[in-house]
């Protein structure tokens, strides 16, 4: 199983303004409410509670594409966990930013752990020394 490379909380915090701005831009660019998409505007009357008309402005499945874009901003082979996405979606950009980004930060380690993969780039080939395998008995 491939390790999920996550930034530390401090690294995530440093990127937070860029991540938030990108998430808001993504929501504006790629998301349209069900009403706007299907009815070309808000419904004239509320058809009732618990119906298909109660669709979230931002569907949780679409947020996976946002995670892929955020991974590019974070860099270092980062793989953000889809488990941070709220089931059922988000009411809008404010809801998305206020709920998703803290959940992603929560999944980040406090600090890098020796011997565990980090988001820092691998050392250059010149910096690593090749060790020949030992002969088997």
pLDDT in tens, 45-66: 444 455 555 667 888 999 999 9
Q: What is the pLDDT of residue 116?
A: 52
How many Å separate Cα 53 from the centre of its chain? 27
Burial class (CB in 10 A: 0-12, 13-18, 19+), 114: exposed
pLDDT at 123 over 60: no
- 11 and 118 in contact (C-beta within 8 Å)? no
What is the spatial distance between Cα 69 and Cα 27, in angstroms, rounded to a whole number?
A: 12
Burial class (CB in 10 A: 0-12, 13-18, 19+), 111: exposed
Q: What is the pLDDT of residue 31?
A: 76
Mean pLDDT value across residues 5-12? 93
Q: What is the pLDDT of residue 96?
A: 95
Residues 6 or more apart whose Cβ sits within 8 Å of residue 23? 66, 70, 93, 96, 97, 100, 101
pLDDT at 128 over 80: no
Q: What is the rounded average pLDDT for all residues in the chain? A: 76
| DSSP state letter for 88 | T
What is the spatial distance between Cα 28 and Cα 112, in angstroms, rounded to a whole number?
A: 34
In b/e form, how buried is each residue of 71-85, taking b as 16+ CB within 10 angstroms?
A: eeebeebbebeeebb
pLDDT tens for 90-107 read 989 999 999 999 999 999
Q: What is the pLDDT of residue 122?
A: 42
pLDDT tens for 12-42 read 999 999 999 999 999 988 776 555 666 655 4
């Amino acid at each position: 199983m491939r390790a999920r490379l996550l930034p530390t909380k401090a690294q995530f915090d440093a990127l937070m303004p860029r991540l938030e701005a990108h998430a808001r831009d993504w929501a504006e660019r790629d998301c349209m409410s069900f009403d706007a998409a299907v009815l070309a505007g808000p419904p004239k009357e509320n058809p009732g509670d618990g119906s298909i008309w109660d669709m979230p402005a931002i569907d949780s499945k679409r947020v996976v594409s946002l995670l892929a874009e955020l991974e590019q901003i974070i860099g270092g082979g980062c793989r953000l966990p889809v488990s941070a996405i709220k089931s059922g979606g988000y009411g809008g950009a404010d809801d998305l930013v206020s709920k998703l980004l803290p959940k992603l930060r929560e999944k980040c380690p406090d600090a890098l752990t020796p011997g565990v993969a980090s988001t820092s780039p691998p050392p250059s080939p010149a910096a690593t020394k090749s060790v020949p395998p030992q002969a088997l008995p």
